[in-house]
Amino acid sequence: MAKSTTPSFIVTRRIITDKRGYDKLNKIERITERMYNAGVRHCIKQLNELKKDVWYQYCLEQFFACKDEKESKQWSKEIFICAAAYQLTEYDLHTYFGRGKASGYEGGIGINIVQKTATALYSAVKKAIFGKKVHFRKFEETFSFEDKKATTGIIYKPETDTVTICGTIFKLKPVRENDIWLQNAMGYKVKYCRVIREPFGVHYHFFLQLVMEGIPPQKHTIGAGTMAIDPGVSTMTSYNGSKLSFKELAPDVNRYQEEVIKEQNRFSKLTRINNPECYDDRGVHIKGMRIKFSKSMKRSKMRLRTAYRKQRIYVEQSNNNLVNEWLEASGSVVKIETMNYNNVINFSKKQKS
């Protein structure tokens, strides 16, 4: 039976943490990261066994050689049947991760968070079944974990405006009196919750993402009329029948890019100073040599992540403001010219080479 889907939107709230709560949330992120990597090691072994299967090899060849859509779906089903024989289904991963929780993380995190981590791995395994690779998560590169329900693991309590995460209660930043949209959005039903962390300076700030059921409250009025949009790589052109508009996307992004380059150079310099044995005479990293992180390198890496976050948020806000401006002008009907950005990227790579 297929899962029922309903419209949903996300509300983000800041989690207020003390030293103990900060350490606990970081620990949960680390546990999910280690659990994910343990699952990757297990899946690599199973995938290696799957690749030896003669029928799987034949089905994979037929799938890539087939040009008919219906026939390719049949071969795809056969491939997944072969994978199921080697315990590479989503439910097999749920079982494997559940055994890992019972043996190594009992009482640390809820079973639904564990299963959500397994589901995230399965999305990578599905691609690996068709020839791609499953990658490990790098150290401290896990920035979120989520639950499957609103009543377990990560529980939001509207009466006290708090969230309980794996048994620990956290307060949320109060909603501002002039934030009418957020006040209205908090009245919707919560489907499930997610915790994310974002770099701010040399530390993290944690946020609660509430996945709400329904269509979000409307912030802006949508104008009447038809608008045609011609997208580009760095510019967008629109025409609504009376006005032609040509806009540059994220015009001040270079200012943020300069900060990113500055932090990249600083981190690279510190890495070479603290790990001279990992580089040859030409300054090229020696393959297999492990980089050791000093305290200054960790702080520099956090500042680099912060620079990336600022750049990302600026681009998102700039693009969203442009969309709102056009929709308010005339956006009841929007026609967009299709554009394949992959072709643009490949063309630019050929030009450089």
DSSP annotation string for 202-245: TEEEEEEEEEEESPPPP-SPPPSSEEEEEE-SSEEEEE-SS-EE
Judge residue 9's burial from the number of C-beta atoms within 10 Å of its C-beta, 0-12 exposed, 13-18 middle, 19 or more buried.
middle
> How high is the pLDDT of residue 349?
58
Average pLDDT over residues 9-25: 95
Q: What is the tens place of the pLDDT at every residue in 57-106? A: 999 999 999 888 889 999 999 999 999 999 999 999 999 998 876 655 55
Lookup: tokens for 98: 């559940």
Residues above pLDDT 90, as percent of the chain: 66
What does the block give as tokens for 255?
């200012």
Residue 230: beta bridge partners? Answer: 237
9: Cα separation from own chain's centroid:
16
Token pair for 327: 């929709």
Nearest partner of 278 among 300, 296, 268, judged by Cα: 268
Among residues 305, 302, 300, 310, the alpha carbon closest in space to that of 267 is found at 300
Backbone dihedral region for residue 214 (phi beyond 0: left; psi -120 to 50: alpha; all else: beta): left
Q: What pLDDT shows up at residue 107? A: 57
Q: Are 144 and 136 within 8 A, CB to CB?
A: no
Quickly tell me which residue has 């025409």 as its tokens. 239
Whole-number pLDDT of residue 1: 37
pLDDT tens, residue by residue, 171-222 = 999 999 999 999 999 999 999 999 999 999 999 999 999 999 999 998 888 8
Q: What was the pLDDT predicted at 347?
A: 52
Could you tell me if 59 and 79 are in contact, meaning their C-beta atoms sit under 8 angstroms apart? yes
Say how far apart CA 51 and CA 41 lie, in whole Å. Answer: 16
Compute CA distances 35 → 97, 223, 261, 346, whole Å.
Answer: 7, 49, 33, 36
How many angstroms separate the CA atoms of 271 and 172, rounded? Answer: 37
Judge whether 186 and 175 are in contact, CB under 8 Å: yes
C-beta of residue 12 within 8 angstroms of C-beta of residue 207? yes
- The predicted pLDDT at position 102 comes to 60
CA distances from residue 319 to 17, 179, 229, 234, 248 in whole angstroms, order as listed: 32, 21, 14, 11, 10
pLDDT at 2 over 50: no
Ranges of each domain in the chain: 8-19+145-213, 29-141, 226-352
Mean pLDDT, range 2-20, rounded to an integer? 87
Q: What value does the mean pLDDT of the chain take?
A: 89
Q: Which tens digits make up the pLDDT trace of 330-347?
A: 777 888 888 776 765 565
In this prediction, what percent of the chain has a pLDDT beyond 70?
93
Predicted model pTM = 0.87
Q: What is the pLDDT of residues 222-277, one digit of tens each?
A: 888 888 888 888 888 888 888 888 899 999 999 999 999 999 999 999 999 999 99
Three-state DSSP state, 78? helix
Q: Tell me the mean pLDDT in the region 278-286.
A: 89
